[in-house]
């Protein structure tokens, strides 16, 4: 299961690299790439939110939440906690949302996600980051629309895209090096294997969407 999630991280990172290339092109007045940005953001949403975060929130996190290792102080993420404070993701997303009050809160994948939010679990940190990612996808979609209508309106879009990529890259690195390491040492191989089966079932139910992800990746890869 953890290897499956790590492989998804690599695929999300490839999409983020494509998104970064397109972000730098927004500054170029000879290029108007609103359609490319729209297509890339659409498949990032499919892969990151609808599949990857769905698996973490519905399959992995409920089991992690039962672990004493997590309850007794949580994973040793001190280094990442310091970086998180420095990057101040919370303030950035709050500021962006203040300017777009009609962006709605993300629906939870399952009920336990809501209860984790309520009881101050250490998992609240990655869950909040998932929510921020969802907000960014919506904020960026609005800004792409405006950029589509006015090619000179580039600055707000670039700011949001760079913040989104920064958040996602930080989140992926933190899970690879911290949260997933706790899961690997604390969960039995039987449990991990069963979770992998559930993850593959979810992939099968989204086979068409995954095909689209691959198509868009191939279209915009060099």
Choices 21-29, 41-49, 74-82, 123-131; region in contact with Fe ion by CB under 5 A: 123-131
Q: How far is the CB of 6 from Fe ion (least distance, A)?
A: 9
Nearer to Fe ion, 56 or 143 (CB): 56
Q: Of 74 and 126, which CB lies nearer to Fe ion in the complex structure?
A: 126
Residue 1 CB, shortest distance to Fe ion, in Å, is: 12
**Minimum separation from the CB atom of position 160 to Fe ion (A):** 20
Cα dist from 16 to 79, 124, 161, 192, 218, whole Å: 23, 24, 10, 27, 14
Under the binding rule (CB under 5 A), the answer on residue 57 touching Fe ion is: no
What gap in Å lies between CA 190 and CA 169, rounded to an integer? 30
Q: How far is it, in rounded angstroms, from Cα 210 to Cα 160?
A: 25
131 vs 134, 148, 179, CA distance in Å? 5, 26, 17
32 phi and psi, to 5 degrees? Answer: -125, 100
For Fe ion, which stretch binds (CB under 5 A), given 24-32, 40-48, 104-112, 120-128? Answer: 120-128
**Identified binder of Fe ion from the candidate list 165, 175, 187, 199, rule CB under 5 A:** 175
Using the contact rule CB under 5 A, the part of the chain among 52-60, 91-99, 202-210, 211-219 near Fe ion is 52-60
User: At a CB cut-off of 8 Å and minimum separation 6, what does 9 contact?
Assistant: 52, 172, 175, 176
The dihedral built from the CA positions of residue 108, 46, 193 and 181, taken in this order, carries a sign that is negative
Number of residues that bind Fe ion (CB under 5 A): 3
**CB count, 10 Å around CB of 134?**
19
Q: Minimal distance in Å, beta carbon 30 to Fe ion?
A: 37
CB of 121 to Fe ion, least distance (A): 14
Within residues 60-119, the interface with Fe ion by CB under 5 A covers: none
SS3 216: helix
Of 55 and 92, the one with the shorter C-beta distance to Fe ion is 55
196 neighbors 183 (Cβ within 8 angstroms): no
Least distance CB 197 / Fe ion (angstroms): 19
Contacting positions for Fe ion (CB under 5 A): 56, 126, 175
């Amino acid at each position: 299961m953890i290897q499956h999630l790590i492989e998804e991280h690599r695929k999300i990172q490839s999409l983020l690299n494509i998104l970064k290339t397109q972000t730098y092109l927004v500054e170029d007045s000879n290029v108007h790439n609103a359609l490319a940005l729209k297509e890339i953001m659409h498949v990032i949403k499919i892969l990151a939110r609808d599949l990857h975060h769905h698996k973490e929130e519905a399959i992995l996190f409920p089991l992690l939440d039962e672990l004493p290792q997590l309850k007794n102080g949580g994973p040793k993420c001190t280094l990442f906690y310091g970086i998180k404070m420095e990057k101040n993701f919370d303030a950035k997303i709050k500021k962006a949302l203040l300017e777009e009050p009609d962006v709605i809160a993300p629906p939870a994948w399952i009920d336990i996600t809501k209860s984790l939010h309520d009881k101050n679990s250490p998992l609240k940190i990655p869950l909040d980051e998932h929510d921020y990612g969802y907000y960014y996808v919506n904020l960026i979609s609005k800004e792409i629309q405006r950029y589509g209508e006015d090619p000179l309106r580039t600055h707000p879009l670039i700011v949001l895209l760079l913040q989104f990529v920064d958040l996602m890259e930080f989140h992926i690195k933190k899970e690879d090096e911290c949260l997933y390491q706790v899961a690997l040492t604390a969960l039995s191989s039987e449990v991990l294997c069963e979770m992998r089966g559930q993850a593959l079932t979810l992939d099968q139910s989204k086979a068409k969407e995954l095909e689209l992800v691959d198509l868009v990746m191939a279209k915009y890869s060099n």
